[in-house]
Chains A and B, each alone.
Chain A
Amino acid sequence: MIHSTIGRRAALALGAATLILPRPGRAQGEAVRIGAILSASGGLAAFVPPIRAGIALALEEINAAGGVLNGRRLQLVEADDQTNPQVGVTVATRLVQADNVAAIIGPMASGITIAVANAVTIPAGVPIISPSATAPAISALQDNDTVFRTAVPDGLQGQVLGRVTRERGIERVAVMAINNDYGRGLSAAFAEAFRGHGGTVTATQNFEENRPSYRAELQTLAGRGSPQALMLVGYPASGGNTILRNSIENGFFNRFVLTDGMRDQSVVEAVGARALQGSFGTAPGTAAAPEQRRKYEEAFRRANPNLDPGAAFVAQAYDAAYVIALAIQRAGAPDRAAIRGALREVANAPGEVVGPGEFARARDLLAQGQAVNYEGASGPIEFNQQGDAQGRIEVWEVQDGRITVVANLAE
């Protein structure tokens, strides 16, 4: 027994060592690895298929245009964080140490992004660009300039949603928010703006994910201060759909104010178009120049006829892949620190404007020593001091069973 235990331990240690040790250096011409941490299972899973397709489209375009750095291909290494911060940290460690990725796209959720950044990518100096983490707290990370996002922070989303809700004649809302960074941050930003425009938040509850029923919570919220609508911050598969059903079936609420987390067509399919008629919400919108947006949408539809290029965070993910590729090209090597330094140079003005599908032109410009300024599918992608992209917030409604964008606001 003793022998076999020691043997097993030794084997485990050996296995762990091979995981941790970086692999030997690669020859010139070998593919450059880009990591992606997506929530392919768990609460956010419904968002992933189009986002993955967006990233894949960007990489295919870049590889078809001859790749980066004298013909090296970009290779995507995808990991699933199961919408769970602990798993996120584990897979990020693997991407950084075993797969030796140059940069990471993701994670998707704010809480996971913060966990991954603090535990893995900030210490390792790996640049990460989240297409969808929107919590205000991310701007405040002491990140040594490694954490970027193409998503617009929720401070702006809450501000717009608070005003739009008031403008639609709603004076009293009950707030129900998922108990994490995203839910607490966004609901607080909303409440502040809503009160600022003369509205009243009758009650606020933070709910726990994955409960089979939310009737008790909803009953408590509906019973106090006669709210006219429920403002819900959540994800469809980990409670959001259940909350909507429980509300409608029991007559607690019939009007909903929603956010980007619930902006998915599957929500309408699950709850029913009639019940959601008149509900509305916000999400990071497109601030893109129409011609850049069109190039992206056409290419996306050609590659994925069954997926929606306008689905939440897809254009942001596409843009994240593009700026990483441009930064690698600008840096001249898949070196993590150099990529970090080059991200703003290729994304921000000044420089020759390049857009979706123009990687070859951008590479030629960089080769001639010119500056480029990527204007993406989701917006102009100008990273500020905190690494946040400046953008717009869209207002969407459920009209005849489809999620329809009705406005695109800058403030």
Chain B
Amino acid sequence: MLELLNFYLIPGLVLGAIYALAAAGVSLVYGVMRFANFMHGDMMTWGAYAALVAVLALGISPWVALPFAVAATIPVAWAADAAFFGRLRRAAPAVLLISSFGAALMIRAVVYFVFGPTPQNYGQGLVPPLLFGEVRIQQRHLFILAGAALAALALHLLLARTRAGRAMRAMADDPDLARVTGVPVAGVIRLTWAVAAALAAIAGTFLAIDTELTPMLGFNVLLAAFAAAILGGIGRPWGAALGGLLLGLAEELSSYPFLAGEPLLQPAYKTAVAFAVLVLVLIFRPQGLFRGMG
């Protein structure tokens, strides 16, 4: 039972928390601007490398570098919106999707150009886990879980309690109605990009802290983030966060030897689990766990 907790449940929760942060950002952009933002994964990568710059230049820990990561990622999102997405606001969703893919490649090319392809890390070295009795958990995993919970709480407060958050939700529910009732559309879009970029930068830095920095860091989890967003009901950041947690847990638990020592599923096929869960949800509850938008 302890094995299950230490090596399957806790890693599953940590992975799920990172998926949740990424998926919340994807879902938010979809809700307000109604397109699948494939640039999100590479915004994560960008944030993680921005944190690396701060870590190397100032000699600080990557946790302290999080604000630098966020501050470096928001302008990228704004620039991409000004250069591409803003001009295509009325275009078909497929056009926006492909242009976000193009923007993703541009960001990745810059990362490759500046930092090269070799994996890097924040120089924390290897740390033995903390022991609470028989429960073992990495300190960084505690921080990631706490950080993700804080970010989710902040997102909730923003959306539920502030005027700006209400405006974002109004845009998500009915953009034309929001416009005619005087919601400042341009401002809401800028704010949405800023929040999505901040979530991406945090998720990317967390992921890099837990693994290592490569130019493909964020893109490799992008599909899982989309699956989580759809699972939770696309356009509903809270649903996306829950979807992320569920997917992380499902992936890790699928290879637990529940039956007589053999893994339930060969771990090589773990990623397929996320999508099997997604397909099942879509069959039995097409709108996602929370009612998502079409």
B216 touches A210 (CB 8 A): yes
Chain B 245-286 interface 0/1 with A at a Cβ cutoff of 8 Å (1 = within): 000000010011100010100111111000000000000000
Segment with Cβ contacts to B, from A40-48, A99-107, A372-380: A40-48
B211 within 8 A of A: yes
A272 touches B118 (CB 8 A): no
Cβ contact of B267, chosen from A207, A251, A272, cutoff 8 A: A207
Interface residues of A in 178-203 (CB under 8 A from B): 179
Interface residues of A in 363-406 (CB under 8 A from B): none
Residues of B within 8 A of A251 (CB): 128
A271 within 8 A of B: yes
Interface residues of B in 1-15 (CB under 8 A from A): 3, 6-8, 11, 14-15
Cβ contact of A250, chosen from B7, B8, B117, B212, cutoff 8 A: B7
A41 touches B15 (CB 8 A): no
B117 touches A219 (CB 8 A): no
Known contacts A41-B215, A210-B216, A266-B118: A216-B18 contact under CB 8 Å? no
Residues of A within 8 A of B216 (CB): 41-42, 210, 237-238
Segment with Cβ contacts to B, from A6-14, A63-71, A241-249: A241-249
Residues of B within 8 A of A215 (CB): 7-8, 11, 252
A220 touches B211 (CB 8 A): no
Residues of B within 8 A of A205 (CB): 266-268
B119 within 8 A of A: yes
User: With A and B bound together, what is the CA distance between A48 and B126 in angstroms?
Assistant: 27
B221 within 8 A of A: yes
User: With A and B bound together, what is the CA distance between A210 and B224 in angstroms?
Assistant: 12
Chain B 111-155 interface 0/1 with A at a Cβ cutoff of 8 Å (1 = within): 010001111110001111100000010100000000000000000
Residues of A within 8 A of B269 (CB): 208
Residues of A within 8 A of B267 (CB): 205, 207-208, 214, 216-217, 220
Cβ contact of B261, chosen from A224, A245, A271, cutoff 8 A: A224
B119 touches A241 (CB 8 A): yes
Cβ contact of B211, chosen from A212, A216, A224, cutoff 8 A: A212
Q: How far in angstroms is the closest Cβ of chain B from A38? A: 11
A48 touches B117 (CB 8 A): yes
A249 touches B220 (CB 8 A): no
A275 within 8 A of B: yes
Q: How far in angstroms is the closest Cβ of chain A from B122? A: 11
User: With A and B bound together, what is the CA distance between A212 and B11 in angstroms?
Assistant: 10
User: With A and B bound together, what is the CA distance between A206 and B268 in angstroms?
Assistant: 6
Q: How far in angstroms is the closest Cβ of chain A from B205? A: 13
Closest to A223 in B: B3
Residues of B within 8 A of A35 (CB): none
A86 within 8 A of B: no
Interface size on A, residues (CB 8 A): 39
User: With A and B bound together, what is the CA distance between A214 and B251 in angstroms?
Assistant: 11
Known contacts A41-B215, A208-B267, A208-B270: A236-B126 contact under CB 8 Å? no
A270 touches B119 (CB 8 A): yes
A213 within 8 A of B: yes
A211 within 8 A of B: yes
Q: How far in angstroms is the closest Cβ of chain B from A96? A: 24
Known contacts A213-B14, A216-B252, A219-B3: A237-B268 contact under CB 8 Å? no
Residues of A within 8 A of B214 (CB): 237
A212 touches B15 (CB 8 A): yes
A270 touches B121 (CB 8 A): yes
A237 touches B15 (CB 8 A): no
22 CB contacts below 8 A, A to B, read: A41-B117, A41-B216, A46-B118, A46-B119, A179-B268, A206-B266, A208-B269, A211-B270, A211-B271, A212-B15, A212-B207, A213-B14, A213-B210, A219-B7, A220-B257, A236-B119, A237-B214, A241-B119, A242-B212, A245-B212, A251-B128, A266-B119
> Which residues does A use to contact B, with CB under 8 Å?
40-42, 45-46, 48-49, 179, 205-208, 210-217, 219-220, 223-224, 236-238, 241-242, 245, 248-251, 266, 270-272, 275
A41-B108, A42-B216, A211-B271 are known contacts; what are 11 more A-B pairs with Cβ within 8 Å?
A: A40-B117, A41-B112, A45-B117, A49-B116, A210-B216, A220-B263, A220-B267, A237-B214, A242-B211, A250-B7, A271-B126
> Which residues does B use to contact A, with CB under 8 Å?
3, 6-8, 11, 14-15, 18, 108, 112, 116-121, 125-129, 136, 138, 207, 210-212, 214-216, 220-221, 252, 255-257, 261, 263, 266-271
